[in-house]
Amino acid sequence: MASTLVNGSEDHVESGGEWTKVLRKGRRHLHTHQHQHTLSCSHGTVPRSNLRQPFLSVSDIESEHQRITDQWGTSMCCRQLQQVVASRPSGPTITHAVCFGLGSFDPDDGSWESRRRAHVQLAAFLCMVEELQRSQPQPIHCLFQEPVFNSADKNFICSLGYKVVDSPEGFEQVGPSTLVFGIHLYKDVYAQAIDGHPPAIFVGTPREIWEECHGSDSLDWVKLKELDAQCDKVKFPEDGEYTTFSGTTIHWRRRGTV
């Protein structure tokens, strides 16, 4: 396991077969709690959350989402995100938005932090879609791919009018007019999301953090380097004292760079 210092914090890169993940030590514990739920892209693997009955009903999740979204909607994070998206540089028209690895609204351990994080990330994703929709006539179709979703999670997302897909369909939907939204995900998930076509917008862990975490080891990730070179970038607004979006960057792909 290699380690390096990023902005005064010690980062470790763990590589175990299929997965590479970022673990950061420091005052804010960036990139630690977000990996409590495991994202599996192994075909034929059934996540544990899908093997049990939900603890919460769809109505319970809806009520909690409304409370958390109402609170977050008045936050500086929300206002700054709206401003960032409204001031987006001229770029490709967005036709699809794919959200990867949102996390369960009804996690196995019942963790309040995990539930809040999932709800806030959903609110931020939909906030971006809403702001983008204001500047274009074409509708933006939203998809969600999350292996740990249980039946209540899926039914909740569907009740909002959106579609939940299984891997690899979400990856296959990514194209040059897609918003890809994935917070604190494994390297392999990001790699599959941007492997086919560079998305119009990519929200996730930026190249510089991956490179710093790799230390002296070369980051052999051609697609991420290509996307990085094609994009204007802005830091994702922080979620108050929470680490929901820490180390996250919005990548705006410049027009004519496909």
- Write down the domain spans for the chain: 2-253
- pLDDT at 256 (0 to 100): 80
Per the rule left: phi > 0, alpha: psi between -120 and 50, beta: everything else, 126 is: alpha
The torsion angles phi and psi of 22, rounded to 5 degrees, stand at -100, 130
- pLDDT at 215 (0 to 100): 66
- pLDDT at 9 (0 to 100): 39
Copy the structure tokens of residue 120. Answer: 């806030």
Residue 250, H or E segment:
strand 249-253
Tally of CB atoms within 10 A around 242: 16
pLDDT at 2 over 90: no
**Residue 85 near residue 132, CB atoms below 8 Å:** yes
Residues 77 and 244: their CA atoms lie apart, in Å, by: 11
Mean pLDDT is lowest, of 144-153, 170-179, 219-228, 245-254, for: 219-228
pLDDT band at 198 (very low <50, low <70, confident <90, very high): very high
For 177-192, what is the mean pLDDT? Answer: 96
Residues 65 and 117: their CA atoms lie apart, in Å, by: 11
Question: What is the edge-to-edge ordering of all strands in the sheet holding 19-25?
Answer: 2-6, 9-16, 19-25
Q: For residue range 61-75, list pLDDT tens digits in order.
A: 999 999 999 999 999
Mean pLDDT is lowest, of 30-44, 165-179, 223-237, for: 30-44
- pLDDT at 25 (0 to 100): 39
- pLDDT at 216 (0 to 100): 53
How many Cα atoms are found within 13 Å in the side-chain-facing hemisphere of 45?
13
Residues 104 and 118: their CA atoms lie apart, in Å, by: 6
Going by C-alpha positions, the residue among 45, 42, 157, 156 that lies closest to residue 98 is 157
Written as one string, the DSSP assignment of 168-232 is THHHHT--TTEEEE-SS--HHHHHHHHSSS--SEEEE--HHHHHHHHTTS----HHHHHHHHHEE
- pLDDT at 219 (0 to 100): 65
pTM of this prediction exceeds 0.75: yes
Which one has a higher pLDDT value, 57 or 92?
57
Q: For residue range 38-53, list pLDDT tens digits in order.
A: 333 332 334 444 556 8
DSSP type of residue 28: T
pLDDT at 235 over 80: yes
- pLDDT at 91 (0 to 100): 85
For 17, residues 6+ apart whose C-beta sits below 8 A from its C-beta are none
Tally of CB atoms within 10 A around 89: 11
pLDDT band at 213 (very low <50, low <70, confident <90, very high): confident
Q: Helical H runs in the chain?
A: 58-72, 76-86, 112-134, 151-159, 169-172, 187-194, 207-214, 222-230
